[in-house]
Amino acid sequence: MNHRRTTVLGGSVALVVLVALTIVAVGAARSSRADHGQALPGTGKPTINLGAKSFTEEKVLGQLWKQALEAKGYTVKLNDSFSGAAVADAALKSGKIDLYPEYTWLVITYVAHQQGKNIKTAQQAWDVANQIEKKQGFKLLKMTPFSDANAVAVLPSYAKKYNLKTIGDLKKIGTNASNVTYGDAPENRTLWTGLLGLKGAYGLTNIKFKGLDFGLLFSALAHGSVDAADVFLTAGQLTQYKFTILKDDKNIFGFQNVAPIVSDKLLKAEGPAFAQTLNAVDAKLTTNAMIQLNSAVDVKKLDPAVVASAFLKANGLK
């Protein structure tokens, strides 16, 4: 993913209902499950400095983790203003934060500066990323079911017209995709997880590249300014637009499951309930759930704290 920046009743369904009825309250961050007279597992533990990047998905993840931990008695300070992987990683290594949510592919490509071309599964990506972090005194907790990887999207009518199933099928439109205009963020022109991969792995050597800000790509594709476009698989805007996602059978976009990167020091200080709490939250984050969470913020314009609170309550995690 390039500069990043959703059970009891069913978390995503319950969230949609709550959002539609607008019955969630901003002040709901306090735990409603405090044990009567019993100390919660996080009581008296050191303050946790949690980081997150400054885009919707990570803001939501930061709130989910913060509120779930606070419901267990932990004290959490959240800084969700980091601009990207490099800044968040530097803050972790310097001790300014104790953990943050990261995409496994970014650990491999941005932190370790590896291509990751031989990685074939999400579990393998997690294993490689965890080994990278272990060498620096950190570890990854369990990864989310969702992977917010980049993907190539087209209009359903376009897919039907040319019988498109995979990214490679674009090659037959013109000579090596010469009649295809592809919209993507400008910096992806020179990345394997962008134009280089489309040409090198799929043979789309003549595809026309149109650089656009990510926020403009959905509209550009919907209105025909481009024939295909880069999207993220858990983007909230996918609830607004009906696109066909072409299969990335060459895996140029990698595996973008999220896992907490945590310092060994923090794990020892906070006790086993700390990791158990985060793992319980992340286990609920399917692709559909994350789309709905992101949509609630980006499309319905709700506060990430409100959205996170509703999801945690719907899933019995708060």
pLDDT value at 318 more than 80: yes
CA quadruple 215, 218, 223, 229: dihedral positive or negative? positive
Residue 243 has a pLDDT of: 96
- Please tell me whether residues 65 and 15 are part of one structural domain: yes
Residue 213 has a pLDDT of: 86
Q: Mark which of 195, 214, 246 sits at the end of a domain.
A: 246
- Please tell me whether residues 129 and 191 are part of one structural domain: no
pLDDT value at 29 more than 60: no
68 vs 74: CA distance, rounded Å: 9
Residue 110 has a pLDDT of: 83
- Please tell me whether residues 174 and 290 are part of one structural domain: no
Q: Mark which of 246, 275, 297 sits at the end of a domain.
A: 246
- Cβ neighbours of residue 76 under 8 Å, at least 6 residues apart? 47, 48, 50, 65, 66, 69, 70
- Please tell me whether residues 284 and 211 are part of one structural domain: no
- Please tell me whether residues 202 and 228 are part of one structural domain: yes
Q: Percent of the chain, pLDDT > 90?
A: 77
Residue 20 has a pLDDT of: 42
- Please tell me whether residues 213 and 79 are part of one structural domain: no
Using one digit for the tens of pLDDT, what is the confidence trace for 255-314?
999 999 999 999 999 999 999 999 999 999 999 999 999 999 999 999 999 999 999 999
- pTM: predicted TM-score of the whole model, two decimal places: 0.83
- Please tell me whether residues 142 and 25 are part of one structural domain: yes
pLDDT value at 7 more than 50: no
Residue length of the chain:
318
Q: What's 235's domain CATH number? A: 3.40.190.120
Read off the pLDDT of each residue in 245-261 and give the average, rounded to a whole number. Answer: 94
Residue 191 has a pLDDT of: 84
Instruction: Report if residue 117 sits inside a domain.
Output: yes
Instruction: Report if residue 218 sits inside a domain.
Output: yes
**How many domains does one find in the chain?**
2
192 vs 169: CA distance, rounded Å: 19
Instruction: Report if residue 2 sits inside a domain.
Output: no
Q: Mark which of 246, 278, 297 sits at the end of a domain.
A: 246
Instruction: Report if residue 98 sits inside a domain.
Output: yes
- Please tell me whether residues 241 and 287 are part of one structural domain: no
- Please tell me whether residues 141 and 277 are part of one structural domain: yes
pLDDT value at 158 more than 90: yes
- Please tell me whether residues 163 and 134 are part of one structural domain: no
- Cβ neighbours of residue 143 under 8 Å, at least 6 residues apart? 104, 122, 126, 257, 258, 259, 282
- Cβ neighbours of residue 157 under 8 Å, at least 6 residues apart? none
Could you tell me which residue, 287 or 22, shows the higher pLDDT? 287
pLDDT value at 249 more than 50: yes
Q: Percent of the chain, pLDDT > 70?
A: 88
Could you tell me which residue, 115 or 251, shows the higher pLDDT? 251
Read off the pLDDT of each residue in 202-211 and give the average, rounded to a whole number. Answer: 97
Read off the pLDDT of each residue in 117-135 and give the average, rounded to a whole number. Answer: 93
Instruction: Report if residue 1 sits inside a domain.
Output: no
Q: What's 56's domain CATH number? A: 3.40.190.10
- Please tell me whether residues 78 and 196 are part of one structural domain: no
Residue 36 has a pLDDT of: 52
CA quadruple 31, 32, 37, 40: dihedral positive or negative? negative
What tokens appear for 214 in the block? Answer: 């990510």
- Please tell me whether residues 277 and 130 are part of one structural domain: yes
Residue 118 has a pLDDT of: 82
Range of the domain at 301: 11-146+257-314
Residue 114 has a pLDDT of: 86
Read off the pLDDT of each residue in 190-200 and give the average, rounded to a whole number. Answer: 91
Instruction: Report if residue 238 sits inside a domain.
Output: yes
Instruction: Report if residue 87 sits inside a domain.
Output: yes
